[in-house]
Structure 1
Amino acid sequence: MALRPVQVNIKAVDSTAVGRFWAEALGWSAYGHGATTYVGPAGGLVRPDPVALGIAVVPVPEPKTATKNRVHLDLATTSEAHQTELVARLRALGARPVDVGQGDVPWTVLADPEGNEFCVLEPRDVYRDTGPIAAVVVDCTDPQATARFWAEATDRTLHEVAGEGAALRSAQGVGPYLEFLRTPDVKTVPDRVRLDLLPYSGDDEKAEVARLRALGATDLDLGRGGGDVAGTCLADPAGHEFCVLTLP
């Protein structure tokens, strides 16, 4: 048994506008479904997409706080010229530069129109075949332990372990990476960005949730700030929120 990461869930006061931003940023399409705006490759909403990791922008009443998100997206580029062009295009769409203590680095840190941080990476060979999203990056104090939980919880396999981080990717070697980066700070506010997981067809959702609890996940009540959720919301052993969605 395993679960598939199906989408990155982003909370927003204006979910339609933020959904449009991310669709244009990634060169994808925005699909309205109820109050949620889904963002994915053109051709119609497919969940789960066989390669890409989509985005679901859900409306919430509370704006983002000044606290840096503990989950963010890294965007891939193919050349220095592409990186420069992409940063300029994103700023024209409403992104703004932010300082999260990155110092002098070759990538650019921006925030979407509601303040959710993300990075536009310099070209790196490792991300040449990921699609527009290179990685979903998770801040944590123990990357190895957190990566082990997610490797057991999902169908992603351990790709790399280093002193300050660890990375997972699909067993087929497609799509974005799921990366865990060591940071000294601890979680102080609810997550604005999280992962949503989906069981495989034929799997028992309740059994999957029980398995996650046995791995160290804890139950979570997102309350009215969690958006509409059809499924079970949990937190991993490091406190990162995620949801197991109900199969359609």
Structure 2
Amino acid sequence: MATRSPLATFKDLCIDAVDAGQLAAFWGAVLGLRVEERPDGMTLLVGPTPQHTVWINQVPEPVSTKQRAHLDVHAASVEDVLDLGASPYDLESFRWKVLRDPEGGELCVFEREQVPDYRLYELNVDCADPEPIATWWARVLGGKLGHEDGVPWWWVEDVPGMPFEGIVFAPVPEPKIVKNRIHWDVDTPDLAALVAAGASVVRERDDEIAWTVLADPDGNEFCAFVGE
């Protein structure tokens, strides 16, 4: 059977922030990326490839509820991340450590004996039913669907161009109620194909934005760039 071509390719990540400068400094240090402030006022983190880019988007709304998308990171110790400005949230319940960034957003720290230069491990996304949404994103991005018996989460790995290990979809009981503060961007040759596959249009490309804001079948926002 012929393998279907992916509908999109991974482009980069975006994080909302009330104070873009402060959060950029924190995440740049945590992830091992360089902070860059552009003449147009945009703040971003840059690394060895365009796909390492993390846009820090200034927004007026503070964190108001548990994030449905958060970052998991490598670190030599949780103390290293706390020293950069994080605060402890749950250091006992899991084999990883749950912290909050300076604006209250959750992140998970995985302590390692060997820490890579780029320290983003994976992107974690809450959902009601992990298997169908992980399957959807594996199809869209051309990644490999992953699952192990005895664990409730599913993941997408080996995504072409994505510089971290994977996107993990974990089940939670609560519904999505606010816009995700962390999202990812994609490049696509065919916006209509994404919509036909199950994405919905949140905002059309217009004179103010050069991309289309979509939502996946679970309502997670992502931005699609055509012909970039």
| Distance in 2 of aligned mates of 1:72 and 1:229 | 25
Number of the residue aligned with 1:225: none
What is the CA distance between 1:156 and its match in structure 2? Answer: 2.0
- The alignment status of 1:138 with 2:118, answered yes or no, reads no
User: Please, which moves more after superposition, 112-121 or 24-33?
Assistant: 24-33
Answer whether contact 2:14 2:183 (CA < 8 A) is retained. Answer: yes
Answer whether contact 2:159 2:166 (CA < 8 A) is retained. Answer: no
Q: Please give the secondary structure, in 2, of the residue aligned with 1:17.
A: helix
What is the CA distance between 1:175 and its match in structure 2? Answer: 2.9
What is the CA distance between 1:121 and its match in structure 2? Answer: 1.4
| Distance in 1 of aligned mates of 2:32 and 2:118 | 10
Letter of the structure 2 residue corresponding to residue 39 of structure 1 = L
1:204-215 correspondence to structure 2 within 5 Å: 204=189, 207=190, 209-215=191-197
What is the CA distance between 1:123 and its match in structure 2? Answer: 3.9
What is the CA distance between 1:160 and its match in structure 2? Answer: 3.0
Among residues 39, 49, 67, which one is paired with 1:69 in the alignment?
A: 67
Q: Please give the secondary structure, in 1, of the residue aligned with 2:179.
A: coil
| Distance in 1 of aligned mates of 2:92 and 2:209 | 38
Q: Please give the secondary structure, in 2, of the residue aligned with 1:76.
A: strand
Q: What's the CA shift string for 1:67-116, capped at 9, x where partnerless? A: 10000011124xxxx22xxx2222222111125xx862221111111111
What is the CA distance between 1:41 and its match in structure 2? Answer: 2.2
Stretches of structure 1 that go unaligned for 5 or more consecutive residues are: 223-227
Number of the residue aligned with 1:179: 168
What is the CA distance between 1:2 and its match in structure 2? Answer: 3.0
Number of the residue aligned with 2:213: 233
Stretches of structure 2 that go unaligned for 5 or more consecutive residues are: 1-5
Q: What's the CA shift string for 1:174-233, capped at 9, x where partnerless? A: 63211111111110111111111123xxxx3xx2x21111111111149xxxxx753011
Identity of aligned residues (%): 30
1:94-105 correspondence to structure 2 within 5 Å: 94-99=85-90, 104-105=93-94
Number of the residue aligned with 1:220: 202
1:2–1:131 Cα change, 3 Å: farther
1:2–1:62 Cα change, 3 Å: same
More helix by share: 1
Q: Please give the secondary structure, in 2, of the residue aligned with 1:136.
A: strand
| Distance in 2 of aligned mates of 1:136 and 1:6 | 14
Answer whether contact 1:229 1:245 (CA < 8 A) is retained. Answer: no
| Distance in 1 of aligned mates of 2:79 and 2:132 | 38
What is the CA distance between 1:40 and its match in structure 2? Answer: 2.9
Segments of 4+ moved more than 6 angstroms: none
Letter of the structure 2 residue corresponding to residue 73 of structure 1 = L
Number of the residue aligned with 1:160: 147
